Structure 1
Amino acid sequence: MQQHQKPLFISHGSPMMAVENSKTSRFLQQLGRQLPTPKAIVVFSAHLDVTDDVVITAGAQPQTVHDFYRFPDELYQIHYPAPGEPALAQQIANMFINAGIKVNLDPTHGWDHGVWIPLRLMYPQANIPIVQISINTRVGAAQNYRYGQLLASLKHDNILILGSGGTSHNLSEVFRQPKTLNGVDMMNQFTKWVEEKLANNDTQSLLNYLQLAPFAKFNHPTQEHFLPLIAVLGASEASVAKKIHQDVEYELLALDAYSFN
């Protein structure tokens, strides 16, 4: 009998998480030790945001991509040599194709930092195959939710479905001087709303979060860090989410994590 894997959403925060000893880095390390070992990991990352066909990584040995700038040299020396899984990539592609969604199986795309930073903390041995699937900020939350729905059956086959983004992600506000008055309260109101809607299984509100959530545009001026949560919500098959971690970085970047039963 196959192990059931609970879909997860984690907030990957700043790239500095790769080298800093923080509350969230320790959480991710402990999480990897607590979870049943998956046979593969399927990741929706904020940093693979495409405009056209769904992109699915299909290489056997993808490279580590250092897709960030002006960080310490030590970050650029880190490599996470986890293998890809071309057969699983093709299986996932067929799921999308059968639903009428065009896909691009990309044998050259590497692991962006939304993939390798959290997974390096969770699974430092880099021995679990990964397939990454793009999000699309241009088609709306409902379509990204549909992406997750198409993959829901994988979790019953010992495959971990992981969303990697951020519960709030207003980087420009982090560096703005002077900061917006009540910005921290605006972040807290938004993340509390998200937690309540997830706990109450209120999918429709979450799919309309841009219109319904307090200060949605302040917390997500662009949507790429929130849509991995929406995709994982789709894969959850309407199960209730449980918050398993809470942290805040730079006063405004909420690093919540959720597990879906």
Structure 2
Amino acid sequence: MNRQPTLFISHGSPMMAAEISSTSIFLSQLGKELSRPKAIIVFSAHFDMAADIVITSGEQPETIHDFYGFPKSFYEIQYNAPGDPALAKKIAQLFENSGLHPVLDENQGWDHGVWIPLRLMYPNADVPIVQISINSGLGASRNHLYGKLISSLKDDNILIIGSGGISHNLKELFSRTPTKNRVEMVSSFTDWVHDKLIHKDLDALLNYQQEAPYASFNHPSQEHFLPLISALGSSDLLTVERLHKDVERDILSLDSYLFS
């Protein structure tokens, strides 16, 4: 059976659904370069649950358009990839074996942290998907555990993806009075993350809020960074490779990593 790597993808703005950019081209090519997985598990920044661990278990989840202010055509996009109820139950059992109490949700659909990148990677929407919620209220260590509990599934040809953003400060992105040194602040943070990943300094990454330069500027809230932490949990960190590096609108960093 093929063993899959783990990915972290910066999914960027919903505009990626329509615009051709270096990141959209990268994601389209990435799907062709990876060996085809049997299924995909996604930790998305936009599936952040404050209480239970929620696992999608529907057979044909809907496409969620969880954003506002975009052209009408964006709300008509459908990504009809199937779910995988059997895999969802297997994941739930792995969590239960560790004393956690996941909830299977047949109605939860694919948020844009899922369908924006996967629509580019797998445009035929023919690879089953299961989402596992993150919890930004519990911090990095707990979300790292969520990834660790499912790491064995990579051996079953299942691709695990964390979908978020290396930097994510929407208030600054749309500010009419940009912070003077914001480009340097983003660069310092993303360089720090890259250095810690390459040197496999997990302790520093789990404590990024205290140790990383300008952490609160790059991530005023945690939800876009935690999918990286969950991805790290599911990886062996034997090989760390930055597959893509890009910055849009000065401060939206779109780095993507592969862990194998």
1:149 matched to 2:148? The reply is yes
1:122 matched to 2:132? The reply is no
Q: Is the 8 A contact 2:236 2:259 kept in 1?
A: no
Quote the RMSD (CA, aligned, Å): 0.6
- How far off its partner does 1:74 sit? 1.1
C-alpha distance in 2 between matches for 1:211 and 1:240: 26
C-alpha distance in 2 between matches for 1:243 and 1:122: 17
The answer for the alignment partner of 1:187 in structure 2 is 186
The answer for the alignment partner of 2:103 in structure 1 is 104
The answer for the alignment partner of 1:59 in structure 2 is 58
- Residue by residue over 1:146-201, the C-alpha shift from the partner in whole angstroms, topping out at 9 and shown as x without a partner, is 00000100111100000000000001001112111110000000000000000000
Stretches of 4+ aligned residues off by more than 4 angstroms: none
- Residue by residue over 1:189-248, the C-alpha shift from the partner in whole angstroms, topping out at 9 and shown as x without a partner, is 000000000000000000000000000000000000000000000000233421000011
Does the residue aligned with 1:156 lie in a helix, a strand or coil?
Answer: helix
The answer for the alignment partner of 2:69 in structure 1 is 70
- Residue by residue over 1:76-97, the C-alpha shift from the partner in whole angstroms, topping out at 9 and shown as x without a partner, is 1110000000000000000011
Q: Is the 8 A contact 1:198 1:240 kept in 2?
A: no
C-alpha distance in 2 between matches for 1:245 and 1:75: 25
- Residue by residue over 1:119-144, the C-alpha shift from the partner in whole angstroms, topping out at 9 and shown as x without a partner, is 00000000000000000000010000
C-alpha distance in 2 between matches for 1:61 and 1:19: 24
- How far off its partner does 1:53 sit? 1.0
For structure 1, which runs of at least 5 residues remain unmatched after alignment?
A: none
Correspondence 1:112-261 to 2 at 5 A = 112-261=111-260
C-alpha distance in 1 between matches for 2:167 and 2:197: 15
What is the percent sequence identity of the aligned residues? Answer: 59
C-alpha distance in 2 between matches for 1:231 and 1:101: 16
C-alpha distance in 2 between matches for 1:49 and 1:191: 23
Does the residue aligned with 1:244 lie in a helix, a strand or coil?
Answer: strand
Does the residue aligned with 1:135 lie in a helix, a strand or coil?
Answer: coil
C-alpha distance in 2 between matches for 1:240 and 1:169: 26
Aligned residues: 260
TM-score under structure 1 length normalisation: 0.99
Q: Is the 8 A contact 1:201 1:240 kept in 2?
A: no
- Residue by residue over 1:48-77, the C-alpha shift from the partner in whole angstroms, topping out at 9 and shown as x without a partner, is 000111000000000000000010111111
